Amino acid sequence: MKTLSQLLPDLLHGVDNLRLHKLRTLLTMLGMIFGVAAVVSMLSIGAGAQQQMMAFIEQLGVRNLIVEAKEAATYQDLQKVRKISPGLTFRDWRVIKANINGIDQTTPRKRFTPSKMLPKPQRDMPVVYGVEPSYLRIAGLQVVAGRWFDAGESGHAAPVCVLGDGARAGLYGNQEALGQYVKVNEQWFHVIGVVAPQLTMQGSASALPSQDLNNLLYVPLYTAIDRLEDTNSDLKDDIDGIYLQMLPGIDILSTSEVVRGILNTTHGGARDFSVVAPAELLAEQKRTQRIFEMVMVAIASISLLVGGIGIMNIMLAGILERTREIGVRRAVGARRVDIVRQFLLEAMLISIVGGLIGIVFGFGMSRVIALLAGWSTIVTLASILLAFLVSVTVGLIFGTYPAVKAARLDPAEAIRYE
C-alpha cells in the first residue's frame, strides 16, 4: 500500500504533464502506435497464411503420398523425355504397391480438361478427375448430396460423375444438380453426388500444380480412360497421378524416398515426376513460418525503435523545461529515486497508451488488408502480447537515461536555472 501511495501522486502528476503538452505527447506516441500496429498486422498476416496452409496440408492428408507427373513444356521436350522414360504408368502403380509396405488405400488418377461441356459452365471449364472409389477416403472428401461411385461402377466404366462444389455452381447455379446429366465432350454422365467445398492454395506454395479443387468433376478411373481419353497421342502418360494413403505408424518421409527411388529406376532418371509428402510440407511450412515471423517482427521493431528514440528525445527536452521543478522537488526532500520514478512513469505512460492505440490500429489494419487483398488474417493473443510487451520494454529502456539524468541534477543549480 505504501508503494501504491508513492506511485499514485507521481502517476497523476505524469498524466497532468502529458495532458499539458497534448500535441507533443501525441507526436511522441506515433512511433509506438505505428510500430505496434505494424507488429500486430504483420503477425496477423503470417498467422492467417499459416492457418490456411496448415489446413490445406491437413486436407492433403499427413499420411498421404502424392506422385505427380511433370508436364513437358514443349512437344520437343516431351519427345526427348519419352526416349528415356515411358512416363507415369499403371506399371509404376503396380510396382509401388508390390514393393511398399503399409499402404492402406491407393488410386491412380487420370486428369482431363474437356474442350466442351453441357450445360455450358458459367465459370472456368471444370477439370475431370478419373479415380478409383478409394479416392474418397484418401482425399478426405465429404459427400453432401447423393453418393460416391462404387467399385462395380468403376469396374464397368459406368458413365456417372460426382461434382465438386465449384463445378456444381458453375454448371447449375442455384438449381438442383443431383440426378442431372452432364455432357463432357461427346459423352453423357449422370450426376450421382456432390462433395463439400475444399480449400485451394494458389501458386507453388503447396508443391503441387495450381488447381481449383472445387471446380472438379470426379468419374471412375476406367470411365475416364475408356470414354474420354484421346488415343491420337502415344506420348502421353498412362496416368498423371498416384495417391497413396499409408497406415498409421508408417514413416512417411522414408517411404517417400523409397517411392522416389523406385520411380527413378523405372523412369531412367528422367525426373519427369514429383513425389509430394504433405508431412514433409508441414515440417517445411513450420520452419518457413518461424523465419517469416522473425523477419516481420524485426522489420516492425524498427518503428518501435524510432518510437523509443522519440520518447528519449522528448524526455530530454522535458528535463530542460522542468529543471526548476526538479530542483524544487529535490530541495523539499525528494530523493533521486523519486525523480527517476516520476520520469520513468511518464515514459511508460507514453509507451503503454501508444501500445494500446497501436493494438487497436493494428487490428483494424489486418481487417482492411483481409478485405482489400483477399488474404486470410488472424490477430492472435500472442501477437498482441508480444507487441505490447515490446512497446513497454522500449519505453522502459529509452526512458531510463533521461530519468537518471534528471535525478542527477544538482538541486541548487536546478533552482537557479532560467
Kindly report, residue by residue over 194-212, the tens digit of the pLDDT. Answer: 999 887 655 444 555 667 8
> Higher confidence at residue 413 or residue 136?
136
Q: For 352-388, what is each residue's pLDDT tens digit?
A: 888 888 888 888 888 888 787 667 778 878 778 877 7
Q: What is the mean pLDDT of the chain?
A: 80
Q: In the predicted model, what is the mean pLDDT of residues 117-138?
A: 91
One domain, residues 186 and 291: no
Q: Are residues 313 and 411 in the same domain?
A: yes
Residue 277 lies in a domain: no
pLDDT at residue 233 tops 70 = no
Same domain, 318 and 208: no
- Where does a domain end: 231, 247, 271? 271
Residues 364, 246, single domain; the answer is: no
Q: Does residue 278 fall inside a structural domain?
A: no
Assigned C-alpha cell, 80? 526427348
Residues 46, 107 share a domain: no
My answer on whether 256 and 392 are in the same domain is no
The stretch 173-194 carries a mean pLDDT of 92
Q: Are strands 181-184 and 187-195 parallel, antiparallel or unpaired?
A: antiparallel
- Asked, for residue 17, whether it belongs to a domain, the answer is yes
d(C-alpha 51, C-alpha 39), whole Å: 18
* pLDDT average, residue stretch 401-407: 74
Q: Which pLDDT does position 204 carry in this prediction?
A: 45
pLDDT confidence of residue 2:
42
* Over residues 291-317, mean pLDDT: 73
Res. 416: pLDDT tops 90 = no
Query: Does 387 reside within a domain?
Result: yes
Taking each helix axis from N to C terminus, what angle separates 2-20 and 336-373, rounded to the nearest 10 degrees?
60
Judged against a pLDDT cut of 60, whether residue 15 lies above it is answered with yes
Cα 124 to chain centroid distance, Å, stands at 26
Q: Where does residue 232 rank: exposed (0-12), middle (13-18), buried (19+ CB within 10 A)?
A: exposed
| Residues 109, 241 within the same domain | yes
- In the block, cell 489446413 appears at 55
Domain co-membership, 216 together with 259: yes
Distance CA 136, CA 125 (A): 22
Q: Which one of 6-20, 148-162, 204-218, 371-385 scores highest in mean pLDDT?
A: 148-162
What's the pLDDT score for residue 75?
74
Q: 34 and 92 share a domain?
A: no
Share above pLDDT 70 across residues of the chain, in percent, rounded to a whole number: 80
Which pLDDT does position 11 carry in this prediction?
A: 66
Domain match, 298 and 357 both: yes
The reply to whether 96 falls in a domain is yes
Q: Of 271, 299, 317, at which residue does a domain stop? A: 271
Supply the pTM of this predicted model: 0.63
Residues 261-270, mean pLDDT to the nearest whole number: 88
CB 161 within 8 A of CB 192: yes
Number of structural domains the chain divides into = 2
Tell whether 64 is covered by a domain. Answer: no
The count of other CB atoms within 10 Å of the CB of residue 323 is: 18
Give the pLDDT mean for 78-96: 86
- Both 293 and 330 in one domain: the answer is yes
Interval 294-306 mean pLDDT: 71
pLDDT of residue 205: 46
Instruction: Supply φ then ψ for residue 224, to 5 degrees.
Output: -65, -45
Residue 54 or residue 70, greater confidence: 70
Q: Is the pLDDT of residue 71 over 70?
A: yes
192 has pLDDT over 50: yes
Domain range for residue 242?
71-271
Same domain, 252 and 127: yes
Q: Strand pairing partners for 274?
A: 68
Q: What percent of the chain has pLDDT over 90?
A: 22
Bridge partner residues of 331 (DSSP): none
342 occurs within a structural domain:
yes
Residue type, 317: A
Last residue of a domain, one of 239, 271, 303: 271
- What does the alpha-carbon distance between residue 403 and residue 220 come to, in Å, rounded to a whole number? 77
Burial of residue 373 (number of CB atoms within 10 Å: 0-12, 13-18, 19+): exposed
Per-residue pLDDT at 77? 76
pLDDT for position 351 = 81
Sign of the CA dihedral 311, 314, 320, 321?
A: negative
Among 71-75, 143-147, 177-181, whose mean pLDDT is lowest? 71-75
> pLDDT band at 1, cuts 50/70/90?
very low
Q: How far apart are CA 148 and CA 129, in angstroms?
A: 13
Residue 276 lies in a domain: no
